[in-house]
Amino acid sequence: MPVTGIGSVFLRAKDPEALGARQDAHPGAGPGHNGTGAKSSESGYWQTQARPSIFAPFKAATGYWPKGKACVPNLRATELSALLAWLRAAGIAAGPRAEWDTPQSGKFSRVHDPEGNPTGLWEPPEGG
């Protein structure tokens, strides 16, 4: 019986309500979102689009995200450039991480919430 995907991502937070509201507004992730930009108040779930996900452990000494943070959720996105512009317009520091981009892996960015938790944004390559 294989695992079929990511069921949830949980983060420790000093203010879970504020952090949840920010994720809801920017980048539009969480309960009620359906992966198209539209939102329904009828759904308690986040309906993501079915595509591949990556699950990979890193060495404890990695510099890929800040020390003291146990994980980095990466959210799959389409039109990453437009999403980054939308986040910047909302006053959220966001920019591409071109040094991480490859034709085989896609395009990447990283944003941090007000508590310093990193969230990756990933646009898979065509067909990925």
Reference 76, options 28, 111, 122, 119; nearest CA is 122
Radius of gyration of the chain (CA): 15
Residues of the chain with pLDDT under 50: 1
pLDDT for res 89: 92
The answer to whether the bond into 2 is cis (omega within 30° of 0) is no
Cα gap 16→20, rounded to integer Å: 6
**How would you class 27 by CB atoms within 10 Å of its CB: exposed for 0-12, middle for 13-18, buried for 19 or more?**
buried
pLDDT for res 7: 62
Single pTM value for the model = 0.69
Cα gap 128→126, rounded to integer Å: 5
